Amino acid sequence: MSESLLNAAAAKFDQAEVYRIESESHPVSFESNKLKEIMRRDTSGVALRVIDDGRIGFTSTTDASREGELVDRAAALAPFGSEASFSFPAPSEYPTVDIVDPGVPHVAQQAMIDTGQGLIERLLDEWPDLLCDARLGWATGRGRIMNSAGIDEEYEQTSYYCSLGAQLIRGTDMLNVWAGYGSSHLFGDDELDRLLQTVRRSLRWSKETAQATANTGDLPVIFTPRGVGATMLHPLLSGFNGKNVANGSSPLGERWGEKIVDERISVYDNPLIDGASGSRPFDDEGVASRKLALIENGVAGGPLLDLQTAGQLGKSSTGAAGRGLASTPSPSSSVIDIAAGDTHFEDMIAGLKEGLVVEELLGAGQGNELGGDFRANVSLGYKIENGEIVGRVKDTMISGNVYNVLSQVEHLGDSSDWVFGSMRSPAMQVLGVEVAAKDE
What pLDDT is recorded for position 365? 62
Task: Compute the distance between CA of residue 168 and CA of residue 380 in angstroms, rounded to an integer.
Answer: 13
Give 109-129 pLDDT, tens digit per residue. Answer: 999 999 999 999 999 999 999
Confidence check: pLDDT of 378 > 60: yes
Picking from 264, 262, 282, the residue whose alpha carbon sits closest to that of residue 272 is 282
In this prediction, residues 242-262 reach a mean pLDDT of 95
Segment 354-359 shows an average pLDDT of 95
71 touches 7 (CB < 8 A):
no
Give the per-residue pLDDT at 366.
66
Q: Residue 418 pLDDT > 70, yes or no?
A: yes
pLDDT at 171: 76
* Residue closest to 29 by CA, chosen among 153, 113, 128, 123: 113
pLDDT at 433: 94
pLDDT at 405 over 60: yes
**What is the pLDDT, as a whole number, of residue 152?**
97
Output the CA torsion 267→272→278→282 (10° steps). 120
Q: Cβ atoms within 10 A of the Cβ of 197, count? A: 11
pLDDT at 172: 78
Segment 268-293, tens digit of pLDDT: 999 999 999 999 999 999 999 999 99
Question: 293-320 pLDDT, tens per residue?
Answer: 999 999 999 999 999 999 999 999 999 9
| Over residues 375-397, mean pLDDT | 94
Max alpha carbon distance in the chain (Å)?
73
pLDDT of amino acid 15: 98
CB contact at 8 A, 56 and 81: yes
From 253, 260, 371, select the one nearest 303 (Cα to Cα).
253
pLDDT on residue 364 = 64
**CB under 8 Å to 138, separation ≥6 — which residues?**
25, 26, 104, 105, 107, 112, 158, 159, 160, 161
Looking at residue 216, its pLDDT comes to: 76
Number of Cβ within a 10 Å radius of residue 438: 12
> In 3D, which of 122, 117, 99, 98 has the Cα closest to residue 38?
117
Reduced 3-state DSSP string for the chain: CHHHHHHHHHHHCCEEEEEEEEEEEEEEEEECCEEEEECCEEEEEEEEEEEECCEEEEEEECCHHHHHHHHHHHHHHHHHCCECCCCCCCCCCCCCCCCCCCCHHHCCHHHHHHHHHHHHHHHHHHCCCCEEEEEEEEEEEEEEEEECCCCEEEEEEEEEEEEEEEEEEECCEEEEEEEEEEECCCCCHHHHHHHHHHHHHHHHHCCCEECCCCECCCCCEEECHHHHHHHCHHHHHHHHEHHHHHCCCCCCCCCCCCECCCCCCCEEECCCCCCCCCCCCECCCCCECCCEEEEECCEECCCECCHHHHHHHCCCCCCCEECCCCCCCEECCCCEEECCCCECHHHHHHCCCEEEEEEEEEEEEECCHHHCEEEEEEEEEEEEECCEEEEEECCEEEEEEHHHHCCCEEEEEEEEEECCCCEEEEEEEECCCEEEECCC
Using CA atoms, how far residue 344 sits from 15, 357, 389, 414, in Å, is 54, 14, 15, 6
CA separation for the pair 20, 45 (Å, rounded): 6
Give me the residues paired with residue 182 across strands.
Answer: 161
- Under 8 Å between Cβ of 419 and 404: no
Task: Say what the pLDDT of residue 75 is.
Answer: 97
Whether the per-residue pLDDT at 367 is higher than 90: the answer is no
Is residue 34 pLDDT above 90, yes or no? yes
Contact 307, 89 (CB under 8 A): yes
> How many angstroms separate the CA atoms of 261 and 296, rounded?
10
Q: How far apart are the C-alpha atoms of 381 and 365, rounded to whole Å?
A: 18
The pLDDT > 90 percentage for the chain reads: 90
pLDDT grade for 2, boundaries at 50, 70 and 90: confident
Q: How confident is the model over 145-157, as pLDDT tens digits? A: 999 999 999 999 9
Residue 215 pLDDT > 90, yes or no?
Answer: no
What is the arithmetic mean of pLDDT over 256-271?
98
| pLDDT for residue 439 | 67
Average pLDDT, the chain: 94
pLDDT at 384 over 90: yes
Cα(305)–Cα(245) distance, integer angstroms = 9
Confidence band for 363, pLDDT divided at 50, 70 and 90: confident
Confidence of residue 420 (pLDDT cuts 50, 70, 90): confident
Structure confidence at residue 28 (pLDDT): 98
In this predicted structure, what is the pLDDT of residue 440?
55
What percentage of the chain carries pLDDT values higher than 70?
Answer: 99
| 128-184 confidence digits (pLDDT tens) | 999 999 999 999 999 999 999 999 999 999 999 999 999 998 877 889 999 999 999
Provide the pLDDT for residue 157.
97
